[in-house]
Structure 1
Amino acid sequence: MGVVNVTPDSFSDGGQWYDTDVAIAHARHLLTQGADIIDVGGESTRPGAAPVTPAEEAARVLPVVEALAREGAVVSVDTVNAATAEAVVAAGAQIVNDVSGGLADAAMAGAVARAGAVYVIQHWRGTPETMNSLAVYDDVVAEVCAELRDRVHQARAGGVRDHQIVLDPGLGFAKNAEHNWTLLAHLDALTALGHPVLVGASRKRFLSGVVPPALAAEPLARDHATTAVSALAAQSGAWAVRVHEVAATADAVRVAAAWRAHR
C-alpha cells in the first residue's frame, strides 16, 4: 500500500504531493514501483495535527481518487469522516482506511456497510492532539487486541460484514516506541483475531531508534528501517504494509513470500 498525502502538513513529506496533478503523478509512480494499493489521505494525523473539515478533505482527495480509479488502480482513502468515505467510494475507492476505527464518526460503520467497501479498523485512543498522553498500558498487546475486538463488535452492529474488515494496530497512535516494537513482535496475536492485518510503520518516529543518530530526526532517513519492518511483518503474516517508499518494500515482501514458500 503506497501512501499519497494530499496535505500541506504531512510529517513524512512536508506537503510535497499537495497539488492534485503532482499527487496523481506520484501515485502512478508508486504503482510502477509495485504498489498494489494507493492510500490517499487529505488530513494529517500526525501528533498535534489540527483537523480539517470533511468538505476540505473531500476537495483534496476526490480528484485524485477519481483519476486513479478511472485508470484501474485499487484506491484506499485514509479518512475518519463518514461523509468523505461515502463520497470517495462513489468516486471509485475500494477501501476506507479509518485511523479512528469508527470512534471519530459514529456514522462511519453504516456508511461503509452501505458502500460494501473494505474497512480498515485501526486502534486509536484520543485524537492527534491528545493521543500522546494516552500511551499508557499494562499489557499493550492484550489491551490493543481487546480494544480492536470492541471496535469490530461496533462495526458489526453498524452492518459491516466480517469479510470487509481489516485490522491495524495503530503504530504511533497513543503508543511509544516500546509499545510499537512489542506490537510488531506479537503480530501473531493480532492475526489471531481472525481478520487481515495492515501494518503502518513507515517513517514513524519510533524507527529513529534504529537509524544512525545523526539522521534520526529526518523521516526519509527511516526508509531502510521501514523496509526491514515490512519484510518482517510480511513474514509474520501481515496482509499489507503501508509505506511511502514502495520499490524496496515491494522487493522485501516478495523475499519474505519466497522465504515462507520454501520452509
Structure 2
Amino acid sequence: MTVIWGVVNTTPDSFSDGGKFLDPDAALQHAQELCRDGAAVIDVGGESTRPGARRVPAPEEQQRVIPVITALAAEGIPVSVDTLNASTAQAAVVAGARIVNDVSGGLADPDMLAVVAASGADIVLGHWRGPSNDMYAQAHYERIARDVAQELRQRISAAAAAGIAPARIIVDPGIGFAKTPEQNWELLRGLGEIMALGPRVMLGTSRKRLFEPIVGTGASQERKDAATAITSALAARAGVWAVRVHDVRATRDALSIVAAWDGR
C-alpha cells in the first residue's frame, strides 16, 4: 500500500500552516498526531518553498528542524528532512533523519549529492527549475510529462555518479514547482512516464494551487485536503510509492477505500 508522509513545517511563512509549529514542542505534538493518523514518515522542513518565499540561512533552518528531528528519531519515528542545504541535510542525518527530501534534486546546493552519498540516507530528487521567487518564469514545456521525466533522469544520473545507490533514490515530479495549474494536471495525467524512470515515486499535491481553479481561490483547507485525498488515492492506484500530505487522516481513509474497492 502507498506510504503516507506527514508534513511538519517549522516555518513562519509556509503557505498552509506558517507559524503554527515554530515551537519544537508544538511541532513534536503535531508529528505524533500525524503518526497516530497513519503517517509512516514525518517530513520536517524549516524553509518554505512556496512561490515568492525567501531563502533561509542554513544555521537558522537547523535551529528550527534539528530539535524536532532529534525528538522524533528518539521515539523511533522515521523522519525525512525537507531542505535545499547540504549542511542541514548532514546535521539532520546525524540527528536521526533517514531521508533527505531535496525539492531541487540536488541543484540548489552543489554539495548535496556528495553529502547524502556519504551519509547513507535515502534522497528524494524533486523536479525543479529554479528558486521559488521566480519559479513561474521557468514554466515552459513542450510536453510536460516527457520533459519532467527527462530532467529527473538527469538528476538520477547525477545522484548515481555521486555514489548514491539506485535503491536509495526516490523521485518527485514537483507538482507546483515551475508549473501552472493546467501543466500540473497534464503532468498528473502523464504520471506513467515518471513511474517508468525506475525509482520509487513520491507525489505531493497537498493544498497546492492546482486545486484553486476547481475548488476556488479562497477555498478552505478542508476542501483542499479533500481534493488532496482524491489525488492521493488516484496516485496510489497508479502505483506511486508515497504521497506527502498535511491531512494524513483524510488521505489514509481515501487510500483505504480505494484498496477495499480493488479488493486489496
TM over 0.5: yes
**Equivalent of 1:14 in 15, 18, 31:** 18
- Displacement, 1:256? 2.6
Amino acid corresponding to residue 125 of structure 2 in structure 1:
I
Could you give the per-residue CA deviations for residues 12-51 of structure 1, whole angstroms, max 9, x where no partner exists?
Answer: 1121111111000000010011111100000000011000
Q: Say if 1:204 and 1:219, in contact at 8 Å, map to a contact too.
A: no
Displacement, 1:219?
4.3
Q: Which residue of 2 aligns with 1:67?
A: 71
1:1-263 equivalences under 5 Å are 1-211=5-215, 213=216, 215-216=218-219, 218-261=220-263
Distance 1:215 1:53 in 2: 32
Q: Which amino acid aligns with 1:28?
A: Q
> Does the C-alpha gap of structure 1 residues 202 and 136 become closer, same or farther in structure 2, counting only changes over 3 Å?
same
How many angstroms apart in 2 are the aligned matches of 1:258 and 1:149?
Answer: 34
Question: Is the Cα–Cα contact under 8 Å of residues 203 and 220 in structure 1 kept in the other structure?
Answer: no
Query: What secondary structure is seen at the aligned counterpart in 2 of 1:172?
Result: coil
- SS across alignment from 1:197: strand
Post-superposition offset of 1:53? 0.8
Q: Is the 8 A contact 1:54 1:84 kept in 2?
A: yes
1:227 is aligned with what amino acid?
A
1:257 shift after superposition: 3.1
Q: Which runs of 5+ in 2 are unaligned?
A: none
CA contact (8 A) 2:9 2:18 kept: no
Secondary structure of 1:129 counterpart:
helix
CA–CA separation in structure 2 for the residues paired with 1:21 and 1:98: 25
Q: What SS does structure 2 have at the residue aligned with 1:170?
A: coil
- Structure 1 gaps of 5+ residues are none
Q: Distance in 2 between matches of 1:214 and 1:127?
A: 23
Give the whole-Å Cα distance in 1 for the aligned partners of 2:146 and 2:93: 33
**TM-score after normalising by structure 2:** 0.95
Paired residue total: 260
Q: Per the alignment, do residues 259 and 7 of structure 1 end up closer, same or farther by CA in structure 2, a change over 3 Å counting?
A: same
Instruction: Provide, for residues 176-212 of structure 1, a one-character-per-residue CA deviation record: whole Å limited to 9, x for no partner.
Output: 011111111121111110011000000001111221x
Native 8 Å contact 2:160 2:166 kept in 1: yes
* Distance (whole Å) between structure 1 residues aligned to residue 57 and residue 92 of structure 2: 15
Q: Which segment drifts farther, 177-186 or 101-110?
A: 177-186
Looking at structure 1, the residues matched to 180 and 126 of structure 2 have their Cα atoms a distance apart, in angstroms, of 16
Q: Specify the code of the residue in structure 2 equivalent to 1:48.
A: G
CA distance in 2, matches of 1:258, 1:192: 26
Q: Whole-Å Cα distance in 2 between the matches of residues 253 and 37 of structure 1? A: 16
Determine what percentage of the aligned residue pairs are the same residue. 53
2:7–2:43 CA contact under 8 A, matched in 1:
yes
Whether contact under 8 Å (1:205, 1:219) holds in the other structure is: no
1:38 is paired with a residue whose SS is strand
Q: Please report how far the alpha carbon of residue 126 of structure 1 lies from its aligned counterpart in structure 2 after TM superposition.
A: 1.1
What CA distance in whole angstroms lies between the structure 2 residues aligned with 1:15 and 1:237? Answer: 34
Higher RCO, 1 or 2 (CA under 8 Å, sep at least 6)?
Answer: 2
Per-residue Cα deviation, 1:75-124 (whole angstroms, up to 9, x for no partner): 00100111111110111110100000000011111111111111000000
CA distance in 2, matches of 1:241, 1:52: 26
Give me the whole-angstrom Cα distance separating, in 1, the residues matched to 2:222 and 2:60. 27
Whether the 8 Å contact between 1:6 and 1:19 is mirrored in structure 2 is: yes
